[in-house]
Structure 1
Amino acid sequence: MRYRTIGTGSAARRVSAICLGALPFGSTVDEETSFAILDRFVAAGGSFVDTANNYAFWVPGFQGGESETVLGRWRADRGVGDEVTIATKLGALPRTPGGGLEDAEGLSADAVRSAAERSRERLGMERLDVLYTHIEDRSVPLEETLGALADEVAGGRVGLLGASNHAVWRLERARALSAARGRPGYEVLQYRYSYLQPRVDVPFPEKGHVHAGPELLDYVRSENAAGGGPALVVYTALLAGAYSNPAKTLSEPYDHPGTGRRLAALRDVAKEADATPNQVVLSWLLDGDPPVIPLVGVSSTAQLDEVLASVDLTLTPDQRHRLDEAR
């Protein structure tokens, strides 16, 4: 396993370069299988697990909180402590059963305090290692949200703060506000990103997903060059199995000529490297500029083993160039 450091100061964490996504645990992946996947991940050196308080409210029969609950049971059953970093998110849990993101709890001070407390209870943690604001809430002053998050850190209830799916200008405004008041700011960012690049003028069918475009990547790259910049975690890294299953239909944002050219380059490099397309994509992400932490969800230990093998794959400069230049 390879490792990265996220955050700064006393709250900084050394985490595995692959983050295990726990989104389906407790809903589409049962508890026994979830435990087996988590055990295999940790045995391989994995130490970074991602969840959210709203996973997976959209699955029929579930209301959100199931993933955190299963992780809490696993932690208690296995005696897991600080050696595994758990990241969770708040703000996007529907307030009423059956609701959607239009009914999200939001990011008011009261919502932040209440949601963070419930996440700690489900996870069985006195302090959340990483807490993201899952979506924007422009109905609430940014200062109010940041103040509530800073209070959670000051009270020892949260370690690192993160933001997911925010506009870049909102990230910069948040950074400036936090810095001006001497408060902790967002040190981990989470966005959708993969090898295939979507059209910017077509929305994703998955409501709420925000792609890490050139501006966001440039922002992260520049902040990191200045020292102490944010870590970037990327979700939907494997496009829900589309790289391994040619018959799988990609969503409309990927319906453009560049997709075919990139897939052809990917297949060629995978054959040369004696690797799967998934492994090549993950290697491309791990050693990119800026380097990112792929967040990968699996539903079996076999799928996890394929993901873990990507850590040992190093693409040649020529292979990376060909992948980059296919557009």
Structure 2
Amino acid sequence: MRYRTIGTDAATRREVSVLSLGAMLFGTVTDEDTSYAILDRYVEAGGTFVDTSDNYAFWTNGGQGGESEELLGRWRRSRGVGDEVLIATKLGARPLAPGTSYTDNPEGLSAKVIREAAERSRERLGLDRLPLLYAHIEDRTVTLRETVEGFAELVAEGTVGLLGASNHRAWRVERARAIAAAAGLPGYEVLQYHRSYLPRRPDLPSELDRDGDVGWVGPDLASYLRAEPQLTLVAYSPLIRGGYVRPERLGEGYDLPSTPARLAALEAVAAETGATVNQVVLAWLMGGDVPSIPLVGASSVAQLEESLAAVDLDLTAEQRARLDTAG
């Protein structure tokens, strides 16, 4: 395994593995025994960065959210796992009532919700301190200042370490960070968005916001990350839910003129390296001009093994150039 440091403050920064494991469906779609086996293998391979949320997975099996956190808490206790594994979680997008969703009835990012939701996450995970806590989605019903101060209070109390944002517009991330900096408060240092080798069509709305490209790394966010190298990007859905293996799953979001050429470049580099296409995508993300920590899901140990092998795949400068310029 390879590692990198996230965060800049000595009190909260952490060294984490360059491949993160998503636990979204653990405890619901992925049963407990399989979830434990995947987690055990990930840690055995040196993995130290597990991702969840307080709303995972409210949309499955009659769930209400929190099932993934609860499973991770049970796994931690059964294995004696401590602070060596950073478990990141999110708040703000848990539905307030069964049968509703984060698009129409989210808990939001008020100071009250931040405090109460973080406490519930700590209880489910069995942690005294959440080492990384994200604002999961935007909340326009409260001021950014209230959200910034709500998170900062928990950091000051020692119940939260690093702060992050997911699925926010780049300008709102920058505004929140500026508010925090001006007040001498901790701000967002880790950003979690969808990013993959294939670009997404910018003209299609996001399920998170019907008016814009919220949720994935577009040109504005990529430019922002290049200008702020101290920020860490965690790239979710890097393999587009199996779309590189089964292109019919890509859907209209990736129907761009450049897609065939980029898929052909991937196949060529995979053949040259003896790697799978998925492994080339993950290696490209880890070493790109905007270095990313891929956040991979797995429903079996075999799927995880494929992703783990990407950590040791070193693409040459020529291969990267070909991938970058394809299409």
TM over 0.5: yes
Label 1:133 to 1:5 Cα distance change in 2 as closer, same or farther (>3 A): same
* RMSD across aligned positions (CA): 1.2
Q: Which residue of 1 aligns with 2:216?
A: 211
SS at match of 1:11: coil
SS at match of 2:184: coil
Q: Which residue of 2 aligns with 1:16?
A: 17
Label 1:158 to 1:237 Cα distance change in 2 as closer, same or farther (>3 A): same
CA distance in 2, matches of 1:60, 1:80: 28
Q: Which residue of 2 aligns with 1:152?
A: 154
CA distance in 2, matches of 1:158, 1:110: 15
Deviations 1:100-127 (A, max 9, x none): 1110000011111110010001000010
Q: Which residue of 1 aligns with 2:296?
A: 296
CA distance in 1, matches of 2:234, 2:115: 24
Task: State TM-score, norm by structure 2.
Answer: 0.96
Deviation at 1:274, TM superposition (A): 0.6
Deviation at 1:60, TM superposition (A): 3.6
| Divergent runs of 4+, >3 A | 204-209
Deviations 1:134-155 (A, max 9, x none): 0000110000011110001011
SS at match of 1:89: strand
Alignment counterpart, residue 125 of structure 2, candidates 123, 126, 130: 123
Label 1:293 to 1:173 Cα distance change in 2 as closer, same or farther (>3 A): same
SS at match of 2:258: helix
CA distance in 1, matches of 2:255, 2:239: 17
Q: Which residue of 1 aligns with 2:106?
A: 104
Conserved? CA contact 2:177–2:188, under 8 Å: yes
Which consecutive residues of structure 1, in runs of 5 or more, have no partner in the other structure? Answer: none
| 2:135 is aligned with 1:133 | yes
Which consecutive residues of structure 2, in runs of 5 or more, have no partner in the other structure? Answer: none
Deviations 1:194-213 (A, max 9, x none): 00101101124577961111
Which amino acid counterpart does residue 270 of structure 2 have in structure 1?
A
Label 1:121 to 1:56 Cα distance change in 2 as closer, same or farther (>3 A): same
SS at match of 2:307: helix
CA distance in 2, matches of 1:60, 1:120: 23
Q: How does 1:120-199 map to 2 (within 5 A)?
A: 120-199=122-201
Count residues in correspondence: 322
Q: Percent identity?
A: 61
Conserved? CA contact 1:204–1:253, under 8 Å: no
CA distance in 2, matches of 1:230, 1:38: 27
Q: Which residue of 2 aligns with 1:243?
A: 244
Conserved? CA contact 1:203–1:253, under 8 Å: no
Deviation at 1:318, TM superposition (A): 1.4
CA distance in 2, matches of 1:117, 1:252: 40
Q: How does 1:177-326 map to 2 (within 5 A)?
A: 177-204=179-206, 210-224=215-229, 229-246=230-247, 248-326=248-326
CA distance in 1, matches of 2:236, 2:255: 20
SS at match of 1:57: coil
Conserved? CA contact 1:204–1:251, under 8 Å: no
Label 1:206 to 1:161 Cα distance change in 2 as closer, same or farther (>3 A): closer
Which amino acid counterpart does residue 217 of structure 1 have in structure 2?
A
Conserved? CA contact 2:208–2:215, under 8 Å: no
Deviations 1:156-189 (A, max 9, x none): 1000000001111111111110011100000111
Q: Which residue of 2 aligns with 1:63?
A: 64
CA distance in 2, matches of 1:214, 1:38: 34
Deviation at 1:319, TM superposition (A): 1.1
